[in-house]
């Protein structure tokens, strides 16, 4: 999160008494939402209570405000529609009722139904959802919302072997949240949120039940203080508790989850620039029924006795996050520095995977400079992270798996002269995988180097031309001898001239030519045990596009791609070091597209599109083979967007297309189908 606030400027406008209040508000808005998310990434329950308090309070407040301005009354919006594509048909209907009440209170009721029928699979899915929401508005001193929801779904699938499965879920949830935003106490500005919910879920999958009934209570408080001008200190404290019972595959057991988090942040906007330092720490403990898992955390119940397939798991997690960000500006020079450190330990008391530890450090430095016609940006990134694991009952850890990343980029933009621009980019990045104590053989480095340049000119407003050159080198190196035989370096060169010519208001010609060549050098190809041959690949691609707009109703686009490519493998190298290659593949691909769009009436558009591709391939080896394949499609359709009534109460939206396709990879279900999205809506 970037502290891009400018309290000094604002405080002058608001006056000295307003400044601390404004700073508090900004501090609370910036306070530790991302770190809270990091803490509870894997468990939804604590995150609900602590991750989003500043924005959550804001939105609750704004909901009340918007409700305040809405007129009292009842609105009903039924909607029904159908969708179709190559994979499935979907039929759906929605119902929304809104009641605006006195003192900004608002009640909404929703009902949604949908049914999916799959074309390529023996599968149907039906969903039913209902919801009731009541926002008390200004009827209570706290912003209070009660929610009730019901989600029901049935997924019936029969796979290609004839195995039929029913996956069924019936979930009911009721929740209450109450919050108060920005209130003073003990010289500090506070925000507080309380929440409670109860969930009752029953589900069935592969004839095994997985049910739970759980209640959760949570509380979250934030406080802010401004000890000096341009400096804010904000703290946060949160906790959550869940209790209930779970049933899994015939076994019933109590379940629970307890979590707490604490965070503090210092935000500054002084002569040294703007920025913040944040720290947060959290932990949780969760007891639940779980299928037996192996050392990698994968469910593994094959061959296990029935009464040992489900275990009572105890999961604990501790996390720490530190974040720093600083932005400065000196004249035309601007810099941003970001740094972070996170750790988390995840432990399973029963699961074989035992204790998992993770740590990550990251740094990011960006410097930009504007000088007249030039603009230069330099970015350097560094990342260092590791994970480790101690299998349950093991005497020592596995060893750390490190990943180290470095990335460097320079961009330079320059206006060479009138209407002519140059842009250059250089990038280099190295990623390294390192296994501590060589616990695996997968150490590897990947180096990427890119350089590209582009010159663009606009000629008298009628012709735009561009030339692009790029060079790219990538090197994949497995460090260990057991897997280094494919280590290679690829050098790629690309040259792309092109232009767009606006010949007339109704006629545009666009043409690009791209030539691309890549050399692959296998680093150990000189060894007799390595059979890889160095090679090169070359491709030329000419694209021509013509657009006609004869009138405001009709647009016609014609596009042609001609593509020629060669592959060749290195055969010999002479004493002088010259390499000789033999071609082993030649291929020509030609494709033509035609698109036509016609506006028949306001809100009504007709569309036609078609393409044809011809692919000629010659494989050269001991015997030469030639193949030709053809493919294409025809799409005919229309779009309608209309509404009727004095207040547009009736709305219709329809997109319908018929697709016919042919080609070697087109199956029966893809050769003839409809694409559609049609719905009807009524407001009263």
Residue list 583-602, contact with another protein (CB under 8 A): 585, 589, 591
Q: Does 477 bind another protein (CB under 8 A)?
A: yes
User: Contacts with another protein in 260-289 (CB under 8 A)?
Assistant: none
User: Contacts with another protein in 85-124 (CB under 8 A)?
Assistant: 120-121, 123
**Rounded to an integer, what distance in angstroms lies between the CA atom of residue 268 and that of residue 25?**
14
Q: Does 487 bind another protein (CB under 8 A)?
A: yes
| The token pair that represents 108 in the structure block | 């909404």
**Rounded to an integer, what distance in angstroms lies between the CA atom of residue 53 and that of residue 179?**
9
| The token pair that represents 423 in the structure block | 């842009």
We find the least distance from the C-beta atom of residue 532 to another protein, in angstroms, to be: 8
Please spell the DSSP secondary structure of 609-642, one letter per residue: EEEEEEEEEEE-SSS-EEEEEEEEEEEEEEEEEE
Site string for another protein, 3-42 (x = CB under 8 A): ---------------------------------------x
Q: Does 438 bind another protein (CB under 8 A)?
A: no
Q: Does 426 bind another protein (CB under 8 A)?
A: yes
Q: Are 49 and 36 in contact (CB under 8 A)?
A: no
**Rounded to an integer, what distance in angstroms lies between the CA atom of residue 374 and that of residue 377?**
10
| The token pair that represents 181 in the structure block | 């935003």
Which of these segments, 126-134, 524-532, 550-558, 597-605, binds another protein (CB under 8 A)?
524-532
User: Contacts with another protein in 662-681 (CB under 8 A)?
Assistant: 663-667, 669-670
Please pick, from the candidates 455, 530, 604, 636, the single residue that binds another protein as defined by CB under 8 A: 530
We find the least distance from the C-beta atom of residue 406 to another protein, in angstroms, to be: 6
For another protein, the closer CB: 108 or 165: 165
Give the residue among 466, 475, 528, 531 at the shortest CA–CA distance from 499.
466
Burial string for 644-668 (b: 16+ CB within 10 Å, else e) reads: eeeeeeebebbbbbebebeeeeeee
For another protein, the closer CB: 58 or 632: 632
Quickly tell me which residue has 């647009």 as its tokens.
Answer: 555
Q: Does 397 bind another protein (CB under 8 A)?
A: no
Q: Give bridge partners of residue 149 from the DSSP assignment.
A: 131, 173
* DSSP reduced 3-state for 646: coil
Q: Does 168 bind another protein (CB under 8 A)?
A: no
Please pick, from the candidates 68, 127, 613, 671, the single residue that binds another protein as defined by CB under 8 A: 613
For another protein, the closer CB: 141 or 664: 664
- 41: CB partners within 8 A, 6+ apart: 47
Give the residue among 514, 515, 509, 516 at the shortest CA–CA distance from 544.
509
Q: Does 579 bind another protein (CB under 8 A)?
A: no
| The token pair that represents 537 in the structure block | 């690949």
* DSSP reduced 3-state for 159: coil
Please pick, from the candidates 22, 91, 412, 548, the single residue that binds another protein as defined by CB under 8 A: 412
Site string for another protein, 42-61 (x = CB under 8 A): x-------------------
User: Contacts with another protein in 223-242 (CB under 8 A)?
Assistant: none
**Rounded to an integer, what distance in angstroms lies between the CA atom of residue 41 and that of residue 426?**
36
For another protein, the closer CB: 260 or 388: 388
Please pick, from the candidates 470, 563, 610, 660, the single residue that binds another protein as defined by CB under 8 A: 563
Q: Give bridge partners of residue 472 from the DSSP assignment.
A: 450, 492
Site string for another protein, 346-385 (x = CB under 8 A): x-----x---x------------x-xxxx-x-x-x-----
User: Contacts with another protein in 620-659 (CB under 8 A)?
Assistant: 627, 629-631
Alpha-carbon torsion angle 587, 561, 676, 88, nearest 10: 20
Q: Are 274 and 329 in contact (CB under 8 A)?
A: no
Q: Does 315 bind another protein (CB under 8 A)?
A: no
Q: Does 537 bind another protein (CB under 8 A)?
A: yes
């Amino acid at each position: 999160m970037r502290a891009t606030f400018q309290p000094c400027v604002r405080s002058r406008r608001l006056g000295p008494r307003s400044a601390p209040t404004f700073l508090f508000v900004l501090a609370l808005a910036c306070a530790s939402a991302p770190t809270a998310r990091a803490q509870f990434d894997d468990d939804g329950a604590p995150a609900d209570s602590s991750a989003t308090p500043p924005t959550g309070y804001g939105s609750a407040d704004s909901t009340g405000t918007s409700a305040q301005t809405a007129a009292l009354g009842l609105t009903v919006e039924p909607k029904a529609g159908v969708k179709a594509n190559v994979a499935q048909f979907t039929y759906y209907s929605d119902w929304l009722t809104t009641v605006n009440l006195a003192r900004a209170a608002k009640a909404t009721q929703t009902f949604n139904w949908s049914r999916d029928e799959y074309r390529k699979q023996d599968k149907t899915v039906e969903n039913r959802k209902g919801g009731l929401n009541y926002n008390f508005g200004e009827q209570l001193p706290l912003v209070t919302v009660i929610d009730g929801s019901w989600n029901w779904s049935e997924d019936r699938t029969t796979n290609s072997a004839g195995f039929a499965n029913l996956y069924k879920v019936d979930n009911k949830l009721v929740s209450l949240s109450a919050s108060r935003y920005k209130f003073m106490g003990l010289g500090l500005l506070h925000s507080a949120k309380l929440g409670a919910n109860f969930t009752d879920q029953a589900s069935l999958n592969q004839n095994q039940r997985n049910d739970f009934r759980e209640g959760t209570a949570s509380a979250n408080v934030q406080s802010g203080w401004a000890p000096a001008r341009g400096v804010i200190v904000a703290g946060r404290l949160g906790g959550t508790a869940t209790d209930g019972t779970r049933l899994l595959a015939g076994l019933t057991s109590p379940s629970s989850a307890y979590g707490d988090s604490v965070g503090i942040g210092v935000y500054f906007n002084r002569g040294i620039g703007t920025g913040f330092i944040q720290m947060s720490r959290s932990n949780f403990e969760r007891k639940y029924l779980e299928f037996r898992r192996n050392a990698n955390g994968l469910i593994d119940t094959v061959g296990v006795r029935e009464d040992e397939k489900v275990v009572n798991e105890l999961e604990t997690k501790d996390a720490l996050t530190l974040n720093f960000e600083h932005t400065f500006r000196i004249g035309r020079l601007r810099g941003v520095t970001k740094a972070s450190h996170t750790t988390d330990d995840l432990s399973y008391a029963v699961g074989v995977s035992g204790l998992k530890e993770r740590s990550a450090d990251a740094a990011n430095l960006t410097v930009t400079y504007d000088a007249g016609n030039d603009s230069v940006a330099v970015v350097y990134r560094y990342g260092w992270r590791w994970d480790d694991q101690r299998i349950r009952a093991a005497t020592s850890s596995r060893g750390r798996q490190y990943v180290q990343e470095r990335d460097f980029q320079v961009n330079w933009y320059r206006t060479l002269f009138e209407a002519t621009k140059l842009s250059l980019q250089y990038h280099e990045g190295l990623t390294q995988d390192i296994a501590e104590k060589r616990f695996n053989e997968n150490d590897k480095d990947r180096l990427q180097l890119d350089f590209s340049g582009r010159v663009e000119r606009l000629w008298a407003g009628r012709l735009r031309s561009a030339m692009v050159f790029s060079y790219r080198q990538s090197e994949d190196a497995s460090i260990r001898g057991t897997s280094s035989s494919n280590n290679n370096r690829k050098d790629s060169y690309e040259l792309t001239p092109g232009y767009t010519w606006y010949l007339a208001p109704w006629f545009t010609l666009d043409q690009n030519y791209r030539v691309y060549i890549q050399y692959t050098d296998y680093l150990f190809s000189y060894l007799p045990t390595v059979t890889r041959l160095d090679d090169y690949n070359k491709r030329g691609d000419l694209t021509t596009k013509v657009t006609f707009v004869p009138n405001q109703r009709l647009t016609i686009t014609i596009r042609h791609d001609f593509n020629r490519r060669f592959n060749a493998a290195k055969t010999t190298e002479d004493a002088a070091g010259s390499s000789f290659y033999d071609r082993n593949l030649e291929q020509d691909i030609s494709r033509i597209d035609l698109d036509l769009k016609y506006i028949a009436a306001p809100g009504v558009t007709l569309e036609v599109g078609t393409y044809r591709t011809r692919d000629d391939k010659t494989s050269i080896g001991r015997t030469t083979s030639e193949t030709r394949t053809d493919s294409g499609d025809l799409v005919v359709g229309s779009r309608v967007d209309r509404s009727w009534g004095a207040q547009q109460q009736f709305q219709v939206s329809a997109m319908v297309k018929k697709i016919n396709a042919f080609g070697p990879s087109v199956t029966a279900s893809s050769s003839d189908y409809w694409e559609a999205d049609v719905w009807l809506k009524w407001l009263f």
